[in-house]
Copies of this chain bind each other. A is one copy, B any other.
């Protein structure tokens, strides 16, 4: 009977499922010995995935946009290039478990790094080039990156940070001139092209324990130091299997996926490994991320699928209105990282026949959590009611709603609380190289506390109301800043709107709306407030308004409410009181 308590890992905990799983008593008295299966203990390995992609899926391609054309590499060539990179990295002293950073746009070379580094047993750390300088240096030091691969066009930026990176010993400059980087003592600079040209195109990629590290990403939260998440071979492969399933993105070899979301954001949304698994072709936009170049690229390469945050799609939509273009080659466009205004979803659908696919996830969840496919058989507004939610959870992202007092609420589509999730591609902790725990209160008995506030329907659809720190607590009731933003952004004169809670003597907090008007448009606060009257209760209507030139954004393009709150506190906003 020894060891049984660890063999049976856990019951279902106190899930709020009324019918089946109510109590939490131990399994059975006099329980018998477990029986082991005869199945192979074959590890889920990114080395095995690379081997597959570069042979049986060897004809699939990754292409990098050059501004007026593409550089294309087959997955077969990617396999050979990965072997060259792995040989080169081994030559620089990189072994199993060592961290290799990238400081790159989305391009062929970045995809090769995503493929090769974990396949050789090392750990890919894609550095977010848009982090604030002190954060960027912090994460490179915290992760103990040994080698960093840098795009030539990013060398000037990287050169500012390099002197403060304490563990970096080698820098490899891709797509540019290595001579332009002046390195501190003890750091060697290499040309990617020259370094790889000297290497053999074969490598014995090892199959390591599937729980070992394959990659790292740091959250770019607006408070405190960035926190590291360490993905495993297992988590990346299970996540990729979910991405390609019909309830995820349903990628197949018939797809060509435009990866606008940077590979340094939240595991690159798992695009690289999902493409290798499915044989989907990949298009990398490199540094051409403005709406005009993206539309030019789409016109030429006709992707069937694209992935980016809402701000990118907002820009594309504005550009399309100025200069119409057929984008119906896109069978679907996945949008995540922030809530999508329903008005944007309708505009893409009605004017361009393109279905935005809303998804929810976090760096901590690899990132794919829920995806908003409407239930089968629904059409029109009935379908739209589901498509504007954050989506439906798959089997292996368990989800629950928890009240302030820690009690689990029912998934009845009504009860609102903090979303907690659990599953094999969800982090159990933040990376703590020196031992100890980082931010342990983000975890609740094996569940990740997401910091998102919302509700779940009986059939598994998530609707987020707000971030727990952004929700406005007015007179003991909650007002969703996100709901207000979405409604206000539906007004034709409004380009962007961000809502924060500001202190109020009577109500504790009241909403303040910071509005960016559309180019050439005019609107008064009273008019905008009037526009909201049929959508909200009277007590929820904002009484403080400010017109600003731009909503401050975080390094990943989300509204930075911390900076907006600071601007308000510093008296920098010109507030209209109604």
Contact = CB atoms under 8 A, between A and B. Distances in A.
Interface stretch (A54-62, A126-134, A341-349, A489-497): A54-62
A32 to B, nearest CB: 4
A346 B52 CA distance: 31
Contact of A58 (B10, B207, B459): B459
B51 A20 contact: yes
A97 B34 contact: yes
A42 B423 CA distance: 6
B52 A376 contact: no
Contacts of A123: 35
A426 B211 contact: no
Contacts of A30: 95
A429 interface: yes
Given A28-B95, A396-B48, A41 B208 contact: no
A401 interface: no
A60 B411 CA distance: 18
A216 to B, nearest CB: 9
A244 B242 contact: no
A55 B458 contact: yes
Interface string A401-432: 00000000001000000000011111111110
A192 interface: no
A578 interface: no
Interface string A32-72: 11111111111110011101111111110000000000000
B231 A56 contact: no
Contact of A37 (B11, B20, B230, B237): B230
Contacts of A9: 43, 206-209
Count this chain's copies in the assembly. Answer: 2
A552 to B, nearest CB: 30
Contact of A96 (B31, B57, B76, B235): B31
Contacts of A37: 211-214, 230-232, 234-235
> Which of A38, A57, A206, A427: most chain B Cβ within 10 A?
A38
Contacts of A44: 238, 396, 424
Contacts of A98: 32
A352 interface: no
A39 B421 CA distance: 12
Contacts of A11: 204-207
A256 B135 CA distance: 51
Interface stretch (A154-162, A246-254, A567-575): A246-254
Contact of A51 (B15, B28, B33): B15
A533 interface: no
Contact of A429 (B24, B38, B231, B250): B38
A206 B39 contact: no
A395 B43 CA distance: 12
A58 B230 contact: no
A52 B204 contact: no
B422 A36 contact: no
Contacts of A250: 246, 250
B32 A207 contact: no
A193 interface: no
Contact of A206 (B27, B76, B83): B27
Contacts of A229: 38
Contacts of A97: 32-35
A544 interface: no
B252 A39 contact: no
Contacts of A39: 211, 230-232, 234-235, 424-428
B376 A459 contact: no
Contacts of A237: 396
A460 to B, nearest CB: 3
Contacts of A426: 39-40, 42
Given A422-B42, A427-B40, A428-B40, A96 B231 contact: no
Tell me which of A34, A51, A123, A252 has the highest count of chain B C-beta atoms within 10 A of its own C-beta: A34
B55 A411 contact: yes
B395 A230 contact: no
A537 interface: no
A321 B39 CA distance: 43
A478 interface: no
A94 B458 CA distance: 32
A90 B28 contact: yes
Given A20-B203, A34-B96, A395-B48, A245 B241 contact: yes
A121 interface: yes
A221 to B, nearest CB: 16
Contacts of A42: 396, 422-424, 426
Among A120, A423, A430, the most chain B Cβ lie within 10 Å of the Cβ of: A423
Nearest to A89: B28
A386 to B, nearest CB: 12
Contacts of A245: 241, 244-245, 278
Closest 5 CB pairs of A and B: A56-B460, A37-B232, A246-B252, A35-B97, A35-B213
19 contacts: A7-B209, A11-B204, A21-B203, A33-B97, A36-B230, A37-B213, A37-B232, A38-B428, A39-B232, A40-B446, A41-B211, A52-B395, A53-B395, A57-B459, A238-B241, A241-B241, A244-B246, A246-B251, A247-B252
